[in-house]
Structure 1
Amino acid sequence: MTVALGVGLFVAGGIGLAPRDAGRHGSGISPRTEAAGPATGADPLSAGITTLQNHLRHTPTDAVGLATLGLDYVQQAKTTADPTYYPKAEAALKRSLKLAPADNFTAMGGMGALEAGRHRFSQALDWARRAVAVNPYNSSLYGTLADAYTQLGRYSEAADAVQKMVDLKPGAPSLSRASYVAELRGDTKTARTDMRRALQDAAGPADQAFARYYLSELAFNQGDPATALDEAEAGLRAAPSYTPLLQARARAEAALGRTKAAVADLGRAVQRVPLPEYVLQLGELHRSLGHPREAAQQFQVFRAEQKLFTDNGVALDADAALFEADHGNPGRALTIARQGLKSRPFLDSHDALAWALHVNGQDDEALAESDRALALGTRNALFHYHRAMIQRALGNTSAARDGLKQALAVNPHFSPLHAPKAHAALTALTATRR
């Protein structure tokens, strides 16, 4: 049975989220499936789902087929930003486990990926451990394990799982996770080196696009939009339909002052895959450009997307909390952030709670949470900006100045809304010093 299920796992293209997407925005984009572009009746993933559905009508007790279908539904949810695939995935995976409960590591790993997609990371970890216990030689399972450990704030155990994944199968999935481990520690040089290795090891256009996307992200996050733009455009030449690269190119374009092109690229990304992250970025870009009506439209779409995700079992966390803190209801921001930290005690969750506490006037507690967000040494300009503004509210002007300088040194273009506020706050604090 184990050998047969291994074939099922291979057919499904491996298990797990892209590491940086494992707990963000309600859905992670799968690099191997999303590169095909928007889901259509002709794209490989949709075609595979149709084939499996037809097969299972005639052979409903095929545990491997059910597990593979469940995995494909999880991937389709990520690819299309449509969480209604999650209940379908759960039904297929549970049927598979009922038919083959003992050594069905494919379905167990699929349940781990499903629970991660729904931001239920403790459950994701339990399923990933069960799968690895059955098959400790499958590298993809260690990716699911590492993602769960990361989002639960268990960074040392995540690093160990990633190293095991690299040892078993050095390639784009494992090296990209190794890159993320380094990035979280603030070691951006190693992070870039690992992603370059992933690019060199790319098996085709989809892997190339995946590596180029994260190389673009690494460059942008460290204040180099020109390199970010180059990486995004190189990725789009390899895989023109890879939507995340439109988002990456838009961020770089906005930072370089090419705002019309940025709006157009983000608009195309939202049309293809209405991922909440893209919708929110487009809304904030419109607001920064003085387009209040267009911004309000995107924020309305963001709220609708969040409801769709929660209606299908996805827990809200950092993005929703930050949205409410910046554009909505501060009290709701705090409620979401506190609940999000319980299910996902990751760095992003600590930062979101810090900011929610700040906008509610609870700055002493906010500072403690902000310290936790930066505890690993992560070079994140938004985290440093949030901490600096909290220090400013507490009257710690020297620490606020230093924090704002650090945020802008990491990335002076980190947000079309908050970067200008950081510059203005630093100017005001410097003037009062004189």
Structure 2
Amino acid sequence: MQLRRLPTYRRIVLSAAVATVLAAALFLAGGLGLAPWHASQSAPSTPQAHTGRGPGTGADPLAADIATLQDRARRNPRDPVALGTLGLNYVQQAKITADPTYYSKAEEVLKRSLALESADNFAAMGGMAALEAARHNFSQGLDWAERAVAVNPYNATLYGTLADAYTQLGRYSDAADAVQRMVDLKPGTPSLARASYAAELRGDTTTARTDMQRALQSAGSPADQAFAHYYLSEMAFNNGDPRQALTNAEQGLHAVPGDAPLLQIKARAEAALGQNTEAIADLTRAGQSLPLPEYVLQLGELYQSLGRSKEADQQYEILRAEQKLFAANGVTPDSDAALFEADHGDHEKALSLARKSVKSRPFLDSQDALAWALHVNGQDKEALAASDKALALGTRNALFRYHHGMIQLSLGNTTAAHDDLTKALAINPHFNPLHAPRARAALKTT
């Protein structure tokens, strides 16, 4: 890692170990659509480190690192490097275990590190950027990322965090510039993956796949390989090819057996192919390993689509409990929470959450969630304007297009609705086990 010369001896020059943790924590806590990924370019590549296993498992290198750093910080509570590294590890552990209580721990030690060394402590600044991104506080995350980059403009990973914040704040041109700088500094799996995502947002799926294939070719560890296979699988599924998605997921699981995100995307492909028993089993395994709300919702909707309403309701209750836990630990509810309430809960709450989300995170997902929340509350003219914003970049997203079509239908614009619903199903006929059948049924009325 290239460092600029710092003007005083007292300023922090990170050791190789700290640089490794910086790259790991910032990569996993960043963007790519806030996908539930927890692998990183520099994290330990043993399968145990990437299967959602929490502290106390013995084989978990991250838990061992945390214990070592905790002891080091106890012995020398004025060591800013130890505290900064510990904070980054806590952010990483929160993502790996889906345990949001690590966020408050991370904030406490990162602030202590910055209090001891505030001027050039780019590791702790980057850690704060990662923490705020993980909590969905993207304006604050951007502030910290910009401060970190100003101190060390030669660290590629910091530009990744900067790009993630710009993306979530709807500053897509700035995000593209930051991604390009990241690629220029260090072409590899993290930077190429972000370049792929930027292309995907523009609707350029050919470039997105090419860049992700390059990310796979650059993968230097099983974790990186699994990461690239996950996104290749997701792209294949999102573009209506569940068989290819299944192949990519299985290849990733060969690299990192039992990985929760890969099990989740594998289950989506299986459900699309009618392999519901396998899909339920894989989603259950994913949720047991990494209990993210997204997995719980996916399993609930799969159960609901199969007429298993009692089991679906159980998953939705679990999801509500998880949302309360995340909120209690400073995680701002976002578009996923708004869409859940719009589809399965309180419509007024959905609209309140969606308005807050689009204010703090004016990303495409938030615009789409706002559109849908407005629609279910009968405010379709305003909903159409928000849905137009969700589609403004040309992103190929079947759910966005479905929402747009249903809003058009409610407004009586049957020709436009027919066009939107046809496009949604052409992009991905299996985009959602509940909404895809509704799209087909609505088409018959246009």
Instruction: Report if TM-score (shorter chain) is over 0.5.
Output: yes
Residue 15 of structure 1, CA deviation: 4.2
**2:183 aligned to 152, 156, 166, which one?**
166
Give a deviation string over 1:286-320, Cα, whole Å, max 9, x none.
00011001000000010001000100001101000
Residue 125 of structure 1, CA deviation: 0.2
Counterparts of 1:14 and 1:236, CA distance in 2: 20
1:29 aligns with 2:68: no
**Contact 1:18–1:173 (CA under 8 A) maintained in structure 2:** no
**Contact 2:192–2:215 (CA under 8 A) maintained in structure 1:** yes
**Contact 1:64–1:96 (CA under 8 A) maintained in structure 2:** yes
1:38 aligns with 2:53: yes
Give a deviation string over 1:328-379, Cα, whole Å, max 9, x none.
0100000000011111000000000000000000000000000000000000
Counterparts of 2:58 and 2:142, CA distance in 1: 34
Letter in 1 for 2:355: R
| TM-score, length basis structure 1 | 0.96
1:146 aligns with 2:155: no
The equivalent residue for 1:52 is: 69
The equivalent residue for 2:115 is: 98
The equivalent residue for 2:5 is: none
**2:217 aligned to 200, 206, 219, which one?**
200
Taking a change above 3 Å as real, the CA distance of residues 15 and 136 of structure 1, as seen in their structure-2 partners, is: farther
The equivalent residue for 2:432 is: 415
**Contact 1:9–1:15 (CA under 8 A) maintained in structure 2:** no
Letter in 2 for 1:51: T
Counterparts of 1:18 and 1:406, CA distance in 2: 33
Letter in 2 for 1:322: L
Letter in 1 for 2:19: L
Overall identity of the aligned pairs, in %? 67
Residue 60 of structure 1, CA deviation: 1.4
Q: CA RMSD in A?
A: 1.5
- Counterparts of 1:204-353 in structure 2, within 5 Å, are 204-353=221-370
Residue 137 of structure 1, CA deviation: 0.2
**1:359 aligned to 376, 383, 386, which one?**
376
Counterparts of 1:4 and 1:21, CA distance in 2: 24
Taking a change above 3 Å as real, the CA distance of residues 70 and 18 of structure 1, as seen in their structure-2 partners, is: closer
Letter in 2 for 1:326: D
| TM-score, length basis structure 2 | 0.93
Letter in 1 for 2:38: I
For the residue of structure 2 that corresponds to 1:249, the secondary structure is: helix
Residue 11 of structure 1, CA deviation: 3.6
Counterparts of 1:364 and 1:18, CA distance in 2: 38
Taking a change above 3 Å as real, the CA distance of residues 123 and 332 of structure 1, as seen in their structure-2 partners, is: same
Counterparts of 2:137 and 2:37, CA distance in 1: 14
Counterparts of 1:37 and 1:79, CA distance in 2: 5
Taking a change above 3 Å as real, the CA distance of residues 19 and 63 of structure 1, as seen in their structure-2 partners, is: closer
The equivalent residue for 1:432 is: none
Letter in 2 for 1:35: H
1:61 aligns with 2:78: yes
Counterparts of 2:221 and 2:27, CA distance in 1: 19
The equivalent residue for 1:385 is: 402
> Which consecutive segments of 4 or more residues in structure 1 shift more than 6 A?
none
Counterparts of 1:304 and 1:21, CA distance in 2: 25
Counterparts of 1:139 and 1:375, CA distance in 2: 29
Counterparts of 2:270 and 2:213, CA distance in 1: 23
For the residue of structure 1 that corresponds to 2:219, the secondary structure is: coil
Letter in 2 for 1:38: R
Letter in 2 for 1:117: A
The equivalent residue for 1:4 is: 14
Counterparts of 2:65 and 2:338, CA distance in 1: 36
**1:191 aligned to 186, 191, 208, which one?**
208
Q: Which runs of 5+ in 1 are unaligned?
A: 430-434
**Contact 1:21–1:29 (CA under 8 A) maintained in structure 2:** no
Residue 44 of structure 1, CA deviation: 1.1
Q: Which runs of 5+ in 2 are unaligned?
A: 1-10
**1:136 aligned to 153, 163, 170, which one?**
153
Alignment coverage as a number of residue pairs: 428
**Contact 1:213–1:232 (CA under 8 A) maintained in structure 2:** yes
1:182 aligns with 2:199: yes
**Contact 2:230–2:252 (CA under 8 A) maintained in structure 1:** yes
Counterparts of 2:429 and 2:217, CA distance in 1: 30
**Contact 1:112–1:126 (CA under 8 A) maintained in structure 2:** yes
Counterparts of 1:53 and 1:127, CA distance in 2: 24
Residue 7 of structure 1, CA deviation: 4.9
Counterparts of 1:10 and 1:358, CA distance in 2: 46
Counterparts of 2:51 and 2:354, CA distance in 1: 34
